[in-house]
Amino acid sequence: MSAVRTLKVEELSRRYGELVVLDGVSFTLHAGQIAAVVGPNGSGKTTLLRCVAGADRPDAGVLTIDGRRYRETDAWFRAIAAAVLDDIDFFPDLSVAEHLQVLAYAHGGPAGSVDEVVTELGLAAVRDQLPVTLSSGQRRRLALASGFVRPRRLLILDEPEQRLDSAGREWLRERLRQEQAAGTAVLLASHDRSLVDATADTTIQVEV
């Protein structure tokens, strides 16, 4: 898996009909840095993350990784990028552990990563349960776990603090610091000022 040195977003714009959501957003994110997208509800944080993840197409602008343009379907991009957006679906008939095993296997994650992540995210007690039987916080933890069982050089997290209890938020801070130390480039959107202050190297402000 090649290292990501630089994600570059240049003059990115996205509109929905008459509504201009993003208007010429530019930033650079280097390996080992965390950039936090901040702004009020409806200001375009999710839209920005979806564009960077390739899940949405900007109307204008250039997105490159180490100088190379990419699409969500590019194998090299899929091999390095892990995104946990807010619309994650689970396989309804797979247990927590089975869901993570499928993802880890499909993305070439290291053997044993599932057990580690299940424990780290406090999901051990529900590892054999189906998603429908999980609490909303446990579902959120499973969504986050989905991002952490795969190899990644670029990690995109949409409001990862959502529905986490205080222990979960503490875990998240520590996990983000570990991602930084491992040289992962992290782009996250957050409403949690203390998380942003504690972890982000840069902030990207978006406005309604």
Ligand X SMILES: Nc1ncnc2c1ncn2[C@@H]1O[C@H](COP(=O)(O)OP(=O)(O)OP(=O)(O)O)[C@@H](O)[C@H]1O
Closer to ligand X by CB, 129 or 162: give it. 162
Token readout for 70 is 């990419």
CB of 142 to ligand X, least distance (A): 20
- Helix/strand number for the chain, H first, E second: 7, 9
Q: Which stretch binds ligand X (CB under 6 A): 34-42, 66-74, 120-128, 178-186?
A: 34-42
Contacts of 8 (CB under 8 A, 6+ apart): 28, 29, 62, 63, 64, 65, 67
Give dist(CA 107, CA 146) in Å, integer.
11
Phi, psi of 61 (to 5 degrees): 115, 165
Closer to ligand X by CB, 45 or 140: give it. 45
- Residues 65-104: x where in contact with ligand X by CB under 6 A, - otherwise, as a string: ----------------------------------------
Q: Is 24 in the site for ligand X (CB under 6 A)?
A: no
DSSP 66-91: TTEE--TT-HHHHHHEEEE-TT----
Q: Is 166 in the site for ligand X (CB under 6 A)?
A: no
- Residues 2-21: x where in contact with ligand X by CB under 6 A, - otherwise, as a string: --------------x----x
* Residue type at position 167: A
Give dist(CA 48, CA 43) in Å, integer.
10
Choice from 1, 2, 24, 42 touching ligand X (CB under 6 A): 42
Query: Contact, 70 vs 6, CB < 8 A?
Result: no
Q: Is 190 in the site for ligand X (CB under 6 A)?
A: no
CB of 64 to ligand X, least distance (A): 22
Q: Is 39 in the site for ligand X (CB under 6 A)?
A: yes
Q: Is 45 in the site for ligand X (CB under 6 A)?
A: yes
Tell me the CA end-to-end span of the chain in Å, nearest whole number. 37
Closer to ligand X by CB, 179 or 192: give it. 192
Binding footprint of ligand X on the chain (CB under 6 A): 16, 21, 39, 41-47
